[in-house]
Structure 1
Amino acid sequence: MNAPTSIWAAQYRGATLGFFGLAFMVAYSTAAITTAMPAAANELNGLPLYGLAFGITMATSVVSMSLAALWIDRSGPQKPLLLGVGIYVVGMLLSAAAPTMELLVGGRAITGLGSGLDGVALYVAIARVFPAHIRPKMFGALAMAWLLPSVVGPALSGLVTEHFGWRWVFATVPVLAIVAMVLLLRGSRGTSMNQAVDPESLEDPAKAAARRLWVKPLWGLIAALAVLMMSDAGTRTQPWWPAQLGIAVVLLAVAVNILLPQGTWRAARGLPALILMRGLMGTGFTIADVYLPLFMIDQRHLPAWLAGLSLTVGGVTWAVGAWLSARGTLQPRQCVRWGALLMTLGLLISALVLLPGWPVWIAWLGWAAAGFGIGMAYPTQSVVVLGQSSRSEQGTNASALQLSETLLTATALSIVGAVFAALLTSGETAYVMAFGVAAVLAVSTLLVSRRAAN
């Protein structure tokens, strides 16, 4: 009998629905909560803590990502995934019921712990449930799961916030999470999702470093504190913010060197280069994604809904790029390199909108190309990293892939944000700086991509 070639085959359908549902839940909560948070901050008189409510989830997720690497490599992904979703649900419910902004921030911190655990566990669970030949299709489906919430999530959340209140936005997410988890557990019965690694495999001298992985959660905590310090320094509200930012960057540099595989910063061929590429690509795309709509509103005087069109266009083409990479008609090497090329060209084309006289549609055209490129490369990176990892290293490498992006993005956004605020009185100079940083990261991604996939 031929092996199934579809993630919707009978034996995989339940797991596919579960994985899709979890990704949909995370995407919906991200879009919806971003829309609802201003109302929450106003009602709770917590505008001074508004930025912290977002930054703290990124910081706490770093801690749990580091812990996930150790746990998953020894016990399999099912228990970390279950606990991660459970913690995520608790954090959402606490946020929904928070009587003060301080407690809402606490709920967001708990949510970050859950998202770090289930983010890493989700990747490894896919590798355990699906055979290698259809694994790209599942990662492509995850990109599709992000598309609909990114398009309709903000509008839906706005309606719920306006008619029922912001608390209901937080309270609806746990329902989606529980339904998705039930589907996943039922659909993954009989798979190796919760099969622990053979202890004897950990005795291999080549994996002796695995014995010392308990150190990583500690450095994950240090990295998380550094992320919070950078986020606070980026607001420039304290006179000592430059020193604070410098100390945070040094701490993070040391922590990242321990948390990521050896050879990452010199783009050693193979997995280290792939992990570095994820960080560079995600950070460059995010910086441009943050400042492009702001430029459209501030300098081109577009309404918010029209300025945000670039986000919608990029989300759609991202999904299309992921679909193309999942078909298997292109080699992983081609998806990674062409994806990096398209993202870089798209970002540079979008930056032309900074020049006087250039039409705004040039930015949307460029962002369509950038979204398509990152859509091609992202799921391919995940597939290749997991495919080249032994079962006893899947958690470690999946964690490194996500830590690379999270930590580099947090660092760059904090530094760019601080410089942007200092240059804001200079008009378009601040935006040129932000897009310049994004362009440098994109070009670096293109260079590293040649070493990332053979």
Structure 2
Amino acid sequence: MSSPATIWGGQYRGATLGFFGLAFMVAYSFAAVTTAMPAAARELDGLPLYGLAFGITMATSIVSMTLAAHWIDRSGPQMPLLAGVGIYVLGMFLSAWAPTMELLVAARALTGFGSGLDGVALYVGIARVFPAHLRPKMFGALAAAWLLPSIVGPALSGVVTDHFGWRWVFGTVPVLAIAAVALLLRGSRGSGMNVAGEDAVPRTTAMPGSRWSARLWWKPAWAVVASASVLMLGDATTLVQPWWPAQLGAAVVLLAVAVNVLLPRGMWRAAHGLPSLILMRGLMGTGFTIADVYLPLFMIDQRGLPAWLAGLSLTVGGITWAVGAWLAGRGTLRPGQSLRWGAAFMLFGMLVAALVLIPGWPVWIAWVGWAAAGFGIGVAYPTQSVVVLGESAPSEQGANASALQLSETLLTATMLAVVGAVFAALLGLGEAGYAMAFGVACALGLGTLLVSRRAAAGQA
């Protein structure tokens, strides 16, 4: 009997709905919490801790991503996935009941820890449940799962916050999580979700240099160092404390050492295979995020647009991201083409969007550019995941999926802190801060394009 040609076939429908539901939960909670957090900070008198409430989730996810790699490769992705969702739900529940901002930040730390486990296990789970020819379609569906919350999530959570209170926003996420997990467990029975990597189906393609996970037992300790360094860096770049230069130096040194331990050897020189794919993910995700953060702010601050219209770029980019992921999932482009063309479209879109910085240029040019950038990352982003998982041994899928996400998380957290500090120093100089932010984003986009050529080498 021939294998099903669609992820929505009877054999895979339940698992597809489960994975889709979990991705939708994370996307919805991200959009909803971002909208509700200002109200929470005001009610709890915690505006000084507002930034930490977001930064702490990224920091704790670094630790759990590293733990997930070891756990998944030795027991399969099912238990880490369940544990991650459980911790995530607990963090959201505690956030909804937090009486002080300090406890809300602590609950957010739990949420970040759970999302790190969940994110890595989700990737490996897809590799265990779906055959290779269906994985691109499933990763394309994950992009669609992010689309709807990015469009309606902020508005919906804003209505809930205004009429019922911010606590109800946090309290709705556990319902989505429980329903998604139930569907996933039922739909993935007998698929190898709870089988250790050594016992899973053997790989078909070797991945040179992927033995970097041999020292996983001591990597979690370095993940804690990296997590603390990210928080130290964010605090030092505010320039508030008199000892900030020493703190900044210590954070940079510790982070550099930790990154060298946590990520595969040869990544910074874009070695062929896994290292170049890992580096490409970090550069691409970070460049896109920086521009995504500062573009709406520029529209409001310098062009005087209302918030809903300034955020149109995010909606447009989300839609074209989903279109690009759908195209990549159809197999119309070969993996090597998806990586190169996706990087080229993203850089082109960033450069076009940056034209809005020039006085006299219409604001719609930014939306046109961001449509192209979103399409580009939509084409390349899921392809990176498909290639890494497809060319990893089952016993290394957790480690390699973890590295893919660690690269993006570490680089994004670091660059957002640095760019934010420079941007703050340039306040009062008109558009200089925005030019700097877009310049950094475009430089990362150029780096992505250059690395994509090595990442695409050898791909059919």
Which band: TM-score by shorter chain? over 0.9
Distance change in 2, residues 1:200/1:342 (3 Å): closer
For residues 346 and 250 of structure 2, the distance between their equivalents in structure 1, rounded to whole angstroms, comes to: 32
- Alignment-derived partner of residue 136 in structure 1: 136
Q: Is the 8 A contact 2:36 2:169 kept in 1?
A: yes
TM-fit CA distance, 1:232: 1.4
| Greater mean deviation of Cα atoms: 2-11 or 236-245 | 236-245
Q: Which residue of 2 aligns with 1:75?
A: 75
Q: CA deviation at 1:231?
A: 1.7
**Compared CA separation, residues 200 and 331, structure 1 to 2 (3 A):** closer
AA partner of residue 366 (structure 1): G
Provide the rounded CA distance (Å) in 2 between the counterparts of 1:249 and 1:69.
25
The answer as to 2:413 corresponding to 1:422 is no
Shift of 1:248: 1.2
1-structure distance, mates of 2:246, 2:285: 27
Question: Which residue, out of 382, 393, 407, partners 1:390?
Answer: 393
- The Cα of 1:254 is off from its aligned counterpart by 0.8
3-state DSSP of counterpart to 1:198: helix
Q: Tell me the equivalent position of 1:166.
A: 166
Letter in 2 for 1:424: L
User: Could you say what secondary structure the match of 2:11 adopts?
Assistant: helix
Q: Where in structure 1 are there 5+ consecutive unaligned residues?
A: none
Q: Residues 249 and 411 of structure 1 are in contact (CA less than 8 Å); yes or no, is this contact kept in structure 2? A: no
**Which residue number corresponds to residue 321 of structure 1?**
324
Kept in 2, the 8 Å contact 1:201–1:392? The answer is no
Q: Give the aligned partner of residue 261 of structure 2.
A: 258
How many Å separate the matches in 1 of 2:137 and 2:197? 25
1:84-110 alpha-carbon deviations (Å, 9 max, x no partner): 000000000000000000000000000
Q: Relative to 1, partners in 2 of residues 1:207 and 1:405: Cα closer, same or farther, differing over 3 Å?
A: closer
- In the TM superposition, residue 303 of structure 1 has moved relative to its aligned partner by 0.8
Partner of 1:86: 86
**Separation in structure 1 between the aligned mates of residue 275 and residue 211 of structure 2, nearest angstrom:** 19
Amino acid at match of 1:420: F
CA RMSD of aligned residues (A): 1.5
Give 1:199 shift: 7.7
Q: Which residue of 1 aligns with 2:205?
A: none
Offset of residue 211 of structure 1: 4.5
Q: Which residue of 1 aligns with 2:411?
A: 408
| Aligned partner letter, 2:167 | R
| Kept after mapping to 1: 8 A contact 2:123/2:401 | yes
Query: Which residue identity does 2:55 align to in structure 1?
Result: G
Matches within 5 A, 1:31-430: 31-198=31-198, 210-430=213-433
Specify the code of the residue in structure 1 equivalent to 2:146.
W
Aligned to 2:448: 445
TM, length-normalised to structure 1: 0.97
Opposite residue 226 of structure 2, the aligned amino acid is: A
* 1:267–1:451 contact (8 Å) kept in structure 2: yes
| Number of matched pairs | 451
Q: Contact between 2:286 and 2:412, CA under 8 Å: does it hold in 1?
A: yes
Which amino acid in the other structure matches residue 258 of structure 1?
V
- Partner secondary structure for residue 425 of structure 1: coil
Q: Quick check: 2:210–2:392 contact (8 Å CA) kept in 1?
A: no
* Percent of aligned pairs with the same amino acid: 77
Q: Which amino acid aligns with 2:260?
A: N
List alignment gaps of at least 5 residues for structure 2. 203-208
**Aligned-partner residue type, residue 107 of structure 1:** A
Contact 2:348 2:372 (C-alpha < 8 Å) held by counterparts? yes
CA contact (8 A) 2:200 2:394 kept: no
Shift of 1:426: 1.0
Contact 2:7–2:137 (CA under 8 A) maintained in structure 1: yes
| Offset, 1:246 | 2.7
CA deviations over 1:348-372 (Å, ceiling 9, x no partner):
0100111111111110000000000
Contact 1:343/1:373 (<8 A) preserved: yes
The separation in 2 between residues aligned to 1:389 and 1:172, in whole angstroms, is 37
Cα deviation code 1:240-291 (max 9, x no counterpart): 3333223212211111111111110100011110000000000000000011
- Mapped to 2, the partners of 1:451 and 1:207 lie a distance apart of 16
**1:233 and 1:414 in contact (8 A); partners too:** no
